[in-house]
């Protein structure tokens, strides 16, 4: 089965704490793509990052960082010094190729609440 598991349903932290959101995926493909999206209370999904399976280098963008480990099929997301504006639902997704078409398989999301 090709799927994405986000085991943490909800996480609550206090502002300025670091927080890591876990994502574990399963796929038979040797070439695949992983994504993280943020869904604030307004509902729109905001793209955060795209990573292909051949690039295991960790990435940092400001307070955000991503740790991709093929050996454990994980693509975890860390927010450093969290802020109230980081409160949202975060989705991890896997790009799946079927019959020449591509689609995204999403995890169920992790709701992050950052308290002041």
Partner 1 sequence: DGGITQSPKYLFRKEGQNVTLSCEQNLNHDAMYWYRQDPGQGLRLIYYSQIVNDFQKGDIAEGYSVSREKKESFPLTVTSAQKNPTAFYLCASSMNPALLPGDTQYFGPGTRLTVL
Chain residues binding partner 1 by CB under 8 A are 4, 9, 31-33, 35, 37, 42-47, 50, 52, 91, 95, 97, 100-104, 106-109
> In the Cβ-directed half-sphere of 103, how many Cα atoms lie within 13 Å?
7
CB of 81 to partner 1, least distance (A): 27
Write the CB contacts of 75 (distance below 8 Å, at least 6 apart in sequence).
23, 25, 34, 36, 51, 66, 67, 68, 69, 92
Residue 74 or 97 having the CB closest to partner 1:
97
CB of 104 to partner 1, least distance (A): 6
Residue 99 or 116 having the CB closest to partner 1:
99
């Amino acid at each position: 089965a090709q799927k994405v598991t986000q085991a943490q349903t909800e996480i609550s932290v206090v502002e300025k704490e670091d927080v890591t959101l876990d994502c574990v995926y399963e796929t038979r493909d040797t070439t695949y793509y992983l994504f993280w999206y943020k869904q604030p209370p307004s509902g729109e999904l905001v793209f955060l990052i795209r990573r292909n399976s051949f690039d295991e280098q960790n990435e940092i963008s400001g307070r955000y960082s991503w740790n991709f480990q093929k050996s454990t099929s994980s693509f975890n997301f860390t927010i450093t010094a969290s802020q109230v504006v980081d409160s949202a639902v975060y989705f991890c997704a896997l790009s799946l190729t079927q019959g020449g078409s591509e689609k995204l398989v999403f995890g169920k999301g992790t709701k992050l609440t950052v308290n002041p």
